[in-house]
Structure 1
Amino acid sequence: MGRTPDLKRKRPISNSNSPSLTDSERVLYDLIKSKQDMGIWTRDMKRETNLQDHVVTKSLKSLQAKKLIKEVVNVQNKLKKHYLAVEFEPSKELTGGAWYVEGNLDTEFIKQLKELCSRHVFKMKVATTDGITESIRRSGVINVECTTQQIAEILRVLVLDNDIMEVRSTEVGEFASIPLGTVCYKCSGKGGPTGVSKTGAMVSIPCGVCPRISECTPDGIISPRTCLYFTKWLDF
């Protein structure tokens, strides 16, 4: 006749150098580890294991003390206790990505990067995301590594705020060193990052660098009415 397992009985985990676990600890540890970088909420642990609340609470404390799991903040719901195996870093769905520190939006870092990006665009006149990222890295102003993706997100915010404008290279004039069609950024006409006034939005009109401007007519095949760059410029 079968015997009901004793949850207090210890048994070693696969790694002989690791601390021994009770059956309930092993069940929870295996479940948490299986969730990898997404981890799992305590309520879901109880639902999936059918362990009693006090057993789950005690086992989690023991697993943390043995440094096998860690609690992480879920930015979607900070009241939820979320756990990961220690070998995994939490996914950005949990942490909110690079813009969050311990579950809180890092507004000062975002503000600093916005100012830096704006200044570098102003200094470089016309710049790509990669160019701005490299320029900021070389400046050494910030002591953390910024990814191209982070800079791209900041540039998008600046575009939406109308602090800078997004254009595409025509390989003519100021775009001569940038491959045709590459997304670039320029200061908008409302002024530089340090308050230096501009001559107005007309300085950045795409017609001024268009190689086919001589062929452009209101009702022609090449026309301001059908020009994507002109339409986007008008939106600003």
Structure 2
Amino acid sequence: MATTAKEDPGKDEDVTMAETSVASSPKELRNVLYARCATFPEDHVFDQNELLSFKILPENTVEQLSVHTKYLTKEGLFKLMSRDGKACWKVVKRADAAKYKTLTQDEAIVYSYIEASQREGIWSKLLRNKTNLHMTTMNRAIKSLESKNYIKSIKTVKWPNRKTFMLSRLQPSEDVTGGPFYTDGILDEEFVHQMSYWIERYIIGRSWWHPPLHEPSKRKSNSKLTQEQAEELRARDVSRRVHGRPRSEAMLPYPAAYNGYPTLAEVTRAVNASELSGVVMRESEVGQLLDILCWDGRLEKIRGGRSYKAVRRVAGEDGAMLENGLTESPCGRCPVFDICEDDGPVNARTCEYFQDWLEL
């Protein structure tokens, strides 16, 4: 017998588990079963086979499992569902289960549909159709749930005039609120303008070379800066590095090999570091502002759309701001442009800068 025990060490463990289960009361078994299921993620769904695989019940049969799952469902700790035509269950937190016990039947029905809507919320008209309750009965249940702070009313961006409800402990999804650009379902145009303005100046500062803030040639060779002048120049320089630069006639293009044009990730980090927004901006949200600036012709995507560059503009004869792509290419600032021609000493075929520029 000793040899048999060594050959099958798991047998004694199974017997011990069964004996322990037999000695346990039905309440203790249900608590053990619930605690085991509660270790899984909230959205995990259990079927009969998975619950039986825990080997918590003494007989471990479908009939015995059915008795305990029915009780847990009645107590609100399990939520009965259906998958592929078969019964399955989802764990409900004890705090949420306790809420159901304090609700009337009508309130419990309304609460269950609002809970199922998660962060999207549910429209009052759709809620009424699903619950099949009379308008007065449903409104009474909603008012009671709101007074207990179980649910709340929210505004959606797509349908601001619709009354939508969701659980009080949840935050609406971005599809509902519109993200950081909306306040109470209304587009915050001033916030969008300020963010776009800041981003544009930041990219201008990374896209073009600007003359130094202080030109030594404008001072006498033997003159020195006073302490006040030095502090003023330093403050101006720091301010420009943080807030970028405006467009000016002094903007000069960088060489073709310049790789300082910012990417979406870099712009996002700069925006969050500026603390201009009260919330942390995500790349998808900053990308929306960059797309708007590109559509307005103020920025352009380069290097396969990975980086962004500010478009330089010059004033036309009528004072309008016109784009001039020639000033951004090597030809527009070439010192021997006048003698550049086919078969000449300088031509486009042998230009050592032109090909590098086209590969940007």
TM-score (norm 1): 0.69
**CA apart distance, 1:206:** 8.8
Q: Higher helix fraction: Structure 1 or Structure 2?
A: 2
2:313 aligns to what SS in structure 1?
A: coil
1:39 paired residue among 121, 139, 144: 121
Contact (CA 8 Å) 1:121, 1:185: kept in 2 or not? yes
Query: Does residue 1:155 correspond to 2:155, yes or no?
Result: no
Question: Secondary structure of 2:161's partner?
Answer: coil
| Residues 80, 147 of structure 1: alpha-carbon distance in 2 compared, 3 angstrom cutoff | same
Paired residue type of 2:202: H
The aligned counterpart of 1:72 is: 154
Q: What code does the residue aligned with 1:33 have?
A: E
Distance 1:140 1:198, change over 3 A: farther
> Could you tell me which residue of structure 2 aligns to residue 145 of structure 1?
280
SS in 2 for 1:21: coil
Runs of 4+ in 1 over 6 A off after TM superposition: none
- Within a 5 Å distance, the mapping from 1:26-105 to structure 2 comes to 26-105=108-187
Distance of 2:102 and 2:134 partners within structure 1: 21
Q: Provide closer, same or farther for how the CA distance between residues 98 and 140 of structure 1 changes in structure 2, counting only shifts above 3 A.
A: closer
For residue 113 of structure 1, report the CA deviation from its aligned partner. 0.8
Q: Give the corresponding residue for 1:5.
A: none
Larger relative contact order (CA 8 Å, sep ≥ 6) = 1
C-alpha change, 1:39 and 1:137, in structure 2 (3 Å) is closer
Give the structure 2 partner of residue 202 of structure 1.
326
Amino acid at match of 2:271: I
Aligned twin of 2:229: none
* Equivalent residues of 1:13, 1:21 under 8 A apart: no
Q: Cα RMSD over matched residues?
A: 3.1
Q: Please, which of 177, 185, 188 is the counterpart of residue 311 of structure 2? A: 188
Figure out how many residues of one structure are paired with residues of the other and give that number: 189
Structure 1 pair 206–38 and aligned structure 2 pair: CA distance change class (3 A):
farther
Aligned residue for 2:307, secondary structure, equals strand
Residue of structure 1 equivalent to 2:317: none
Taking only the aligned residue pairs, the percentage that are identical comes to 25
Contact 2:180 2:279 in 1 (8 A): no
CA distance in 2, matches of 1:51, 1:137: 48
The runs of 5 or more residues in structure 1 that have no matched partner are 1-10, 169-180, 192-196, 217-221, 230-236
State the Cα distance separating 1:94 from its structure 2 match. 2.0
CA contact (8 A) 1:189 1:202 kept: no
Contact 1:74–1:95 (Cα < 8 Å) also in 2:
yes
Residue number in structure 2 paired with 1:21: 103
- On the 8 A contact 1:12/1:20 being kept in 2, the answer is no
Deviation at 1:74, TM superposition (A): 1.8
TM-score, length of structure 2 as denominator length: 0.47
- 1:122 to 1:100, Cα distance in 2 relative to 1, 3 A: same
1:116 to 198, 204, 221: 198
Q: Which amino acid aligns with 1:95?
A: T
Q: In 1, Cα distance between the equivalents of 2:145 and 2:183? A: 24
